[in-house]
Amino acid sequence: MKNERKRTFLLITVPILALFVCFNTIPLIRGVIYSFTNFKGFGTYDWVGLRNYMDLFTDGRVGKSYWFTFKLAIVTTIVVNVISLLLALGLNSKIRAKSFFRGAYFLPNILGSLVVGYIFNYFFTYILPAVADMIGIEALRSSILSNPSAAWIGVMIVCSWQAIAMNTIIYISGLQTVPEDVYEAGSLDGATGWKQFRHLTFPLIIPFFSINMVLCVKNFLMVFDQIMALTKGGPAQSTESISYLIYNNGMSGGQFGFQSANAVMFFLLIVIVSVAQMKFSSSKEEQL
């Protein structure tokens, strides 16, 4: 019996793992090999040893893109989770036209990036400054997308606007798993409002919270579409994300080898961070 179970699991795992290795690991290894060359993406190339990796540490653009990407990912993750949790609580409460609201709040997720880029560009370039002019906010009189130190906020707003939909759905499905009687029992103990949320609701939806965290971190560390649609890395190269740099210089430009090295480093960094994070959270779970 036990063996049958083990064998079944193995029979499931091996072919799927083989598929994964074939279309993910093998191309990745080929990519890693290119990272030791000066390959342009076509034609001949020379081996350059570790030159690309050394260059990574002296390249100002690469450093800036890491700083920008992590800053964006952290802030956006926080903003998105707070707002979508509130939204999910709202959409889960007893209100009219619930399904209409749920449908409407999902829309940002499916508008194509050209549309989102155009509309938000318009909003930041023309509408926001005009509104700021009317009510007299000096700082917002010019487009935030043209200000190198503020443009990332524009990117952050658009990323959040798009991502909130998906995270809200996941929180809603989490909230659905909380049985009514938990609240009833809680309200007998006098737990309402924040207290109820903090001590009753939130602990029950922690799995969904961690799904959302991973989704956010993944989407925002790999942010690309929104950058292409909104700023194309500008102004003054202040919003170049890592993925943008890898794609733009590696594919469109002739830096395929160098950007492969960048991708390898980025990948290793993420793996180290996630393993550390996993170790940390599992030790925390044990404490609980």
Partner 1 sequence: MRGKGMKCLGLVLYCSVTSLAVSGCGGSKENGKVTEIEIVQYKPEAANYFKMVEEQFNAAHDDIHLTISSPNDAMTILKTQFIREDYPDIIGIGGDINYSYFVDAEILADVSDYQGLQNIKQAYRDIDESLELVPTEGTFALPYVANAAGILYNREMFEEHNWEIPKSWEELKTLCKNIKSEGILPFSFGFKDTWTCLAPWNAMAVDLSPADTPKQVNRGETTFSKEYAEVSEKYLELLEFGPDDPFAYSYNDACTSFARGESAMYPIGSYAAPQILSVNPDLKLDSFVMPANDSADGNTLNSGIDLQFCVTAECKNKEEAYEVLDFLYADENIQQYIDAQNAIPCKEGDFKLPSILDGMQEYISSGNMTDYPDHYYPSEMAVDAQIQTFLLKKDVDAFLKRFDTDWLRYNRDIIRQVEEYEKEHGNKSE
Partner 2 sequence: MIKKGNWVVMVLLILGLSTIAFPLYMTIVIAFKQPAEMTNSIGGILSLPKSWSFANFKEAMEVTDFWRSLGNSMLITVVTVILSILLHSLMGYAVGRNKAKSKFYSFVYLFIVSGMFVPFAILMMPLAKQTAELGLANWFGVIVLYVVFYMPMNIMLYSGYLVNIPVALEEAARVDGASTWRTYWKIIFPMMKPMHATVAIITALAVWNDVMTPLVIMAGSGKNTLPLAQLNFQSQFGTNYNLAFASYLLSLIPILIFYVICQKQILNGVASGAVK
Q: How far is the CB of 44 from partner 2 (least distance, A)?
A: 15
* 275 binds partner 1 per the rule CB under 8 A: no
Per-residue string for binding with partner 1, 62-101, x by CB under 8 A? Answer: ----------------------------------------
Q: What is the dihedral of CA 88, 90, 92, 96, to 10 degrees?
A: -140
Return d(Cα 251, Cα 248) in angstroms, integer.
6
User: Scanning residues 216 to 235, which ones bind partner 1 (CB under 8 A)?
Assistant: 231-235
Closer of 63 and 207 to partner 2 (Cβ): 207
Other residues' Cβ atoms within 10 Å of the Cβ of residue 88: 26
Closer of 41 and 186 to partner 1 (Cβ): 41
Candidate segments 17-25, 70-78, 175-183, 275-283, binder of partner 1 by CB under 8 A: 17-25
Cα dist from 16 to 3, 4, 187, whole Å: 20, 19, 48
Contact 260, 250 (CB under 8 A): yes
Candidate segments 13-21, 86-94, 153-161, 207-215, binder of partner 1 by CB under 8 A: 13-21
Place of tokens 């997720």: 109
**Residues linked to residue 37 through DSSP beta bridges, in sequence order:** 47
Q: Which does 257 bind (CB under 5 to 8 A by kind): partner 2, partner 1, none?
A: none
Q: Is residue 242 helix, strand or coil? A: helix
Q: How far is the CB of 151 from partner 2 (least distance, A)?
A: 19
Q: What is the DSSP string of 10-70?
A: HHHHHHHHHHHIIIIIHHHHHHHHHTTB---SSS---B-TTHHHHHHHH-HHHHHHHHHHH
Q: Which does 18 bind (CB under 5 to 8 A by kind): partner 1, partner 2, none?
A: partner 1
Contacts 24+ apart (CB under 8 A), 101-110: 102/172, 105/164, 105/165, 105/168, 106/165, 106/169, 107/165, 108/161, 108/162, 108/164, 108/165, 109/162, 109/163, 109/165, 109/166
Residues 76, 81, 168, 255: which binds partner 1 (CB under 8 A)? 255
Q: Which does 253 bind (CB under 5 to 8 A by kind): partner 2, partner 1, none?
A: partner 1
User: Scanning residues 142 to 181, which ones bind partner 1 (CB under 8 A)?
Assistant: 142-143, 145-146, 148
* 251 binds partner 1 per the rule CB under 8 A: yes
* 38 binds partner 1 per the rule CB under 8 A: yes
Contact residues: partner 1, CB under 8 A: 14, 17-18, 21-22, 25-26, 38, 40-44, 46, 55, 61, 121, 124-125, 129, 142-143, 145-146, 148, 231-237, 248-249, 251-255
